[in-house]
Amino acid sequence: MSNSENKTVVCYGEVLWDMLPTGKQPGGAPMNVAYHLQQLGKHPTVISKVGFDDLGKQLIETLAAKNIPTDFIQIDHEKPTSVVTATFKNKQEMVYTISEDVAWDYIEKMPNQESIVRHANYFVYGSLAARNRQSFEALLSLLEMANLKTLDLNLRAPFYNRDLLEVLLSSADILKVNRDELELVSGWFSALSAEKEQMQLVKDRFHLQSIMLTRGKAGAILNIADEWHATNGLPIQVEDTIGCGDAFLAAFISKQIENKTIDETLRHANQLAAFIATKKGACPGYELSSVNAWADSLLPNLD
């Protein structure tokens, strides 16, 4: 077994049912990241919680069917499995109504989590699962023993505030943001308007190893080891943008595990995110070879 095959990823936070106009789909950023990592041949583990109800049972069965380990998904006998109602504002944006006081608000720090977290190369977390004190405190405890702490802000109003986000940012080694999130965080400290200046400010302020900015059709920018890297957007027909950022992050981590160059890593992450944007939902079925062939087919359209 190669060194890269030994590397693992832990994804912490919400797992839920997205109630979309097209039907019910499993969702939640940590689950989406884990799904794509699994599709890319990596070894993700999800730490979360579902209710002792039909929706929780169905969710665990669905994750298991997607080969996502469910050993660290806790069962809550009092709180229900989470449901999110998603409606299209336009093809580029979804509006989410997120139920409160649900199972993943009460994730517990358990002794059996310590080994998997300490041995995982990447620990992925976001801001939503920190909205309740119990899950937040469990997260902080796990962050103390985690290795490369990878934060996807994934802001969902009204479930965040500056104090909370600063704690999460201060723990991070790697940060992924979109334009709105970068504008918000950099705006706490400066009126800078240039993206690279905003990214450098946030990177320096929170002592990050790297910061990546996803820019939709404009591609992505990365600052790592004080070097700048960028990749252009792809000419695609967007179906919806659900889960594109999660696919981007999973692909980025996947290629880093494989010790690919930074430029290849960024390009691959951008390609998978674009591919997912051409599909319905966050976790469509696909093979990596089909994504690569699809991306190659776009090359004649790129100057």
Per-residue pLDDT at 268: 93
Per-residue pLDDT at 90: 63
Mean per-residue pLDDT of the chain: 90
Q: Which of 106, 111, 147, 98 is nearest to 130 (CA)?
A: 106
> Per-domain residue ranges for the chain?
4-288
Per-residue pLDDT at 94: 67
* Cross-strand bridge partners of residue 174: 150, 210
pLDDT level of residue 151 (50, 70, 90 thresholds): very high
pLDDT level of residue 2 (50, 70, 90 thresholds): very low
Residues 6+ apart with CB under 8 A from 106: 49, 76, 79, 132, 134, 135
Contact by Cβ (8 Å): 11, 116 = no
Per-residue pLDDT at 1: 39
- For residue 150, pLDDT over 50 is answered with yes
Contact by Cβ (8 Å): 112, 144 = no
* Cross-strand bridge partners of residue 75: 50
Name the strand (E) or helix (H) holding 155. Answer: none
pTM: 0.92
d(CA 292, CA 288): 6
**pLDDT by residue (tens digit) across 207-245?**
999 999 999 889 999 999 889 999 988 888 888 788 899
**pLDDT by residue (tens digit) across 234-289?**
888 888 788 899 999 999 999 999 999 999 999 999 999 989 888 887 788 888 88
Taking residues 27-43, report their average pLDDT: 93
Taking residues 178-207, report their average pLDDT: 95
Per-residue pLDDT at 206: 97
Residue 49 carries which side chain, given as an amino acid letter? K
- For residue 75, pLDDT over 60 is answered with yes
Look-up: residue for tokens 């002592």?
207
Look-up: residue for tokens 């380990």?
69
DSSP letter at 138 equals: H
Residue 143 carries which side chain, given as an amino acid letter? L
d(CA 226, CA 117): 28
Residue 239, SS3? coil
- What is the CATH topology of the domain spanning 4-288? UDP-N-acetylmuramoyl-L-alanine:D-glutamate ligase (3.40.1190)
Per-residue pLDDT at 297: 84
- For residue 51, pLDDT over 70 is answered with yes
Token pair of 261 as six digits = 């160059």
**pLDDT by residue (tens digit) across 164-178?**
999 999 999 999 999
d(CA 133, CA 140): 10
Beta strands (DSSP E) in the chain are 9-12, 16-20, 23-27, 44-51, 73-76, 83-90, 93-98, 122-126, 148-152, 174-178, 210-214, 220-224, 227-231
- For residue 45, pLDDT over 60 is answered with yes
Contact by Cβ (8 Å): 61, 53 = no
Taking residues 24-50, report their average pLDDT: 93
**pLDDT by residue (tens digit) across 88-125?**
776 556 677 899 999 999 999 999 999 999 999 999 99
Contact by Cβ (8 Å): 202, 237 = no
How far is CA 222 from each of CA 1, 191, 230, 257, 292, rounded to the nearest angstrom? 31, 21, 6, 17, 21
Cis-peptide, bond into residue 158, ω within 30° of zero: yes
Between 225 and 1, residue with greater pLDDT: 225
Look-up: residue for tokens 């919806």?
240
CA 252 to chain centre: 11
Contact by Cβ (8 Å): 165, 182 = no
Taking residues 54-64, report their average pLDDT: 95
d(CA 122, CA 231): 23
d(CA 73, CA 82): 13
- For residue 3, pLDDT over 50 is answered with no
Percent of the chain with pLDDT over 70: 94
Per-residue pLDDT at 281: 77
Percent of the chain with pLDDT over 90: 69
